[in-house]
Amino acid sequence: MATKAESRLTTFKLVSFALVGAWLIIAAFPFLWTIWGSFKVQGDFFSKADWTNAVFGVLTTRETGGAFTSNGYFGAWVQEEFWKNVLNTLVIVFFTVIISLTFGTLGGYALARSGFRYAFWILMAALIFRAMPHITLVSGYMLPFFEWNIWGLKGTAIIVLVAINQPFTLWMLHSFFKNIPKDMDESAMVDGCTRFQAFWHVIVPVMWPGVITTGLFSFLLAYNDYAVTSMLLSKPNETMVPAVASFLGSVQVQGNIMFAVAAVVSATAPLFVLILFFQRQIVSGLTAGAVKG
Amino acid sequence: MKHRTFFWFILPTLSAMILFIALPIVSVFIQSLFVEHEQVLVVSESCGPFGCTQTTSIDTEATEALRADSPLGQYNGLGTYFDRSHLATAEVAEIWKASTGLASFVDGIMDLKFYKALVFTLTYTFVVTPAVLILGLAIAVGVNNLPKALRGIAIFISLLPFLVATIVGSMILSWMLDGEGIIGATLQNIFNDPSLTIKSSTPLMWIALIIYGIWHTLPFSFIVFYAGLQTVPGDTLEAAKVDGANKWQTMINVVVPHLMPLVSFVTLMLLMDNFRVFEPIVSFQAEAHAQSLSTFILSDLREAGNPLYASAGATSILTIIGVAILLSPVVVRTWRDFSAKSH
pLDDT in tens, A277-290: 999 898 888 887 65
Long-range pairs, B229-232, Cβ under 8 A, ≥24: B229/B140, B229/B141, B229/B144, B229/B255, B229/B259, B230/B144, B231/A291, B231/B258, B232/B258, B232/B259
- Tell me the torsion sign for CA atoms B65, B23, A232, A99: positive
Q: How far is B168 from chain A (nearest CA, A)?
A: 6
Amino acid identity, position B163: L
Given a cut of 80, is residue A273 above it in pLDDT? yes
In this structure, are B105 and B207 located in the same domain? no
Cβ <8 Å between A136 and B161:
no
In this structure, are A15 and A112 located in the same domain? no
Q: Is B300 part of a structural domain of the chain?
A: no
Q: Is B220 part of a structural domain of the chain?
A: yes
Contact call for residues B114 and B296 (beta carbons, < 8 A): yes
In this prediction, residue A85 has a pLDDT band, given cuts at 50, 70 and 90, of: very high
Contact call for residues B103 and B95 (beta carbons, < 8 A): no
Among A223-232, A252-261, B105-114, B214-223, the range scoring the smallest mean pLDDT is: A252-261
Q: What share of chain B is helix, strand, coil (3-state, %, to 5)?
A: 75, 5, 20
In this structure, are B85 and B217 located in the same domain? no
Q: What is the count of structural domains for chain A?
A: 2
In this structure, are A117 and A12 located in the same domain? no
Residue B334 vs residues A127, A179, B224: alpha-carbon distances, Å: 11, 21, 21
Segment A172-212, tens digit of pLDDT: 999 889 888 888 888 888 888 888 898 999 898 989 989 99
Q: What CATH number did the domain enclosing A197 receive?
A: 1.10.3720.10
- Rounded Cα gap, residues B147 and B135, in angstroms: 20
CA B321 from chain center: how many Å? 13
- A167 vs B76 pLDDT, higher one: A167
**Confidence at residue A1, expressed as pLDDT on a 0 to 100 scale:** 41
Contact call for residues A219 and A97 (beta carbons, < 8 A): yes
**Confidence at residue A31, expressed as pLDDT on a 0 to 100 scale:** 94
Residues 36-95 of A with CB under 8 A from B: 45-48, 51, 54
Q: Is A1 part of a structural domain of the chain?
A: yes
In this prediction, residue B225 has a pLDDT band, given cuts at 50, 70 and 90, of: very high
In this structure, are A2 and A120 located in the same domain? no
User: Which chain A residue shows the shortest CA-CA distance from B147?
Assistant: A17
Paired strand residues for A152 = A233
Pairing of strands B74-75, B51-58: unpaired
Measured between CB atoms, does B247 come within 8 Å of chain A? yes
**Confidence at residue B300, expressed as pLDDT on a 0 to 100 scale:** 86
In this structure, are B121 and B223 located in the same domain? yes
In this structure, are B200 and B252 located in the same domain? yes
Contact call for residues A245 and B282 (beta carbons, < 8 A): yes
Pick from B155, B161, B331: which is nearest to A279 by CB? B155
In this structure, are B166 and B219 located in the same domain? yes
Q: Compute the average pLDDT of residues A58-83.
A: 84
**Confidence at residue A255, expressed as pLDDT on a 0 to 100 scale:** 64
Measured between CB atoms, does B160 come within 8 Å of chain A? yes
Asked if the ipTM is above 0.85, the reply is yes
In this structure, are A13 and A131 located in the same domain? no
**Confidence at residue B81, expressed as pLDDT on a 0 to 100 scale:** 86
- Rounded Cα gap, residues B25 and B337, in angstroms: 28
Q: Is A159 part of a structural domain of the chain?
A: yes
In this structure, are B160 and B271 located in the same domain? yes
User: Domain span at residue A20?
Assistant: 1-32
What phi-psi label fits residue B231: left (phi over 0), alpha (psi between -120 and 50 degrees) or beta? alpha
Q: Is A110 part of a structural domain of the chain?
A: yes
Given a cut of 70, is residue B338 above it in pLDDT? no
Q: Is A41 part of a structural domain of the chain?
A: no
- Using alpha carbons, select from B158, B120, B126 the residue that is nearest to residue B140: B158
- How many other C-beta atoms are found inside a 10 Å radius of the C-beta of residue B46? 8
Pairing of strands B34-35, B74-75: antiparallel
Q: Is A53 part of a structural domain of the chain?
A: no
Enclosing H/E stretch for B46: strand B41-48
Q: What is the DSSP letter of B178?
A: S
Contact call for residues B221 and B158 (beta carbons, < 8 A): no
Q: What CATH number did the domain enclosing B250 receive?
A: 1.10.3720.10
- How many other C-beta atoms are found inside a 10 Å radius of the C-beta of residue A280? 11
Could you give the dihedral angle defined by the CA atoms of residues A268, A274, A280 and A284, in that order, rounded to the nearest 10 degrees?
A: -70
In this structure, are B156 and B200 located in the same domain? yes
In this structure, are A111 and A20 located in the same domain? no
Contact call for residues B315 and B298 (beta carbons, < 8 A): no
In this structure, are B172 and B283 located in the same domain? yes
- Rounded Cα gap, residues B121 and B125, in angstroms: 6
Paired strand residues for B43 = B56
Pick from A106, A135, A141: which is nearest to B297 by CB? A135
Which of B74, B93, B121 finishes a domain?
B74
Q: What is the rounded average pLDDT for all residues in chain B? A: 85
Segment B75-111, tens digit of pLDDT: 877 888 888 788 888 888 888 888 787 888 888 888 8
In this prediction, residue A291 has a pLDDT band, given cuts at 50, 70 and 90, of: very low
Q: Is B22 part of a structural domain of the chain?
A: no
Paired strand residues for B52 = B47
Contact list, A255 vs chain B (CB under 8 Å): none
Paired strand residues for B57 = B42
Paired strand residues for B34 = B75
- A104 vs B113 pLDDT, higher one: A104
In this structure, are A223 and A110 located in the same domain? yes
User: Which chain B residue shows the shortest CA-CA distance from A275?
Assistant: B156
In this structure, are B160 and B284 located in the same domain? yes
In this structure, are A27 and A122 located in the same domain? no
Q: Is A54 part of a structural domain of the chain?
A: no
Q: Is B259 part of a structural domain of the chain?
A: yes
- Rounded Cα gap, residues B99 and B96, in angstroms: 5
In this structure, are A121 and A194 located in the same domain? yes
Q: Is B286 part of a structural domain of the chain?
A: yes
Q: How far is B92 from chain A (nearest CA, A)?
A: 25
User: Domain span at residue B49?
Assistant: 40-74
CA A168 from chain center: how many Å? 13
Amino acid identity, position A11: T
Q: Round the CA-based radius of gyration of chain A to a whole number and report it.
A: 25
In this structure, are A132 and A257 located in the same domain? yes
In this structure, are A93 and A24 located in the same domain? no
- A147 vs B51 pLDDT, higher one: A147
Amino acid identity, position B334: T
Termini Cα distance of chain A:
42
- Rounded Cα gap, residues B163 and A161, in angstroms: 18
- Using alpha carbons, select from A102, A249, A58, A233 the residue that is nearest to residue A156: A233
- Rounded Cα gap, residues A283 and B333, in angstroms: 27
In this structure, are A148 and A26 located in the same domain? no
Contact call for residues B25 and A137 (beta carbons, < 8 A): yes
- Rounded Cα gap, residues A244 and A82, in angstroms: 9
Q: Is B172 part of a structural domain of the chain?
A: yes
Q: Round the CA-based radius of gyration of chain B to a whole number and report it.
A: 27
In this structure, are B141 and B251 located in the same domain? yes
Q: Is B171 part of a structural domain of the chain?
A: yes
Contact list, A223 vs chain B (CB under 8 Å): 165
Measured between CB atoms, does B171 come within 8 Å of chain A? yes
Angle separating helix axes B182-191 and B166-177, nearest 10 degrees:
30
Q: What is the count of structural domains for chain B?
A: 3
Q: What is the rounded average pLDDT for all residues in chain A? A: 86
Q: What is the DSSP letter of A26?
A: H
- H helices of A114-237, where? 117-131, 134-148, 154-178, 182-190, 195-198, 208-224, 227-232
Q: Is A121 part of a structural domain of the chain?
A: yes
- Rounded Cα gap, residues B224 and B301, in angstroms: 36
**Confidence at residue A2, expressed as pLDDT on a 0 to 100 scale:** 45
Given a cut of 80, is residue A248 above it in pLDDT? no
Q: Is A62 part of a structural domain of the chain?
A: no
The helix/strand count (H/E) of chain B reads as 17, 4
- Rounded Cα gap, residues A180 and A167, in angstroms: 21
In this structure, are A280 and A160 located in the same domain? yes
Cβ <8 Å between A106 and B313:
no
In this structure, are B187 and B241 located in the same domain? yes
Q: Compute the average pLDDT of residues B283-305.
A: 83
In this structure, are B202 and B225 located in the same domain? yes
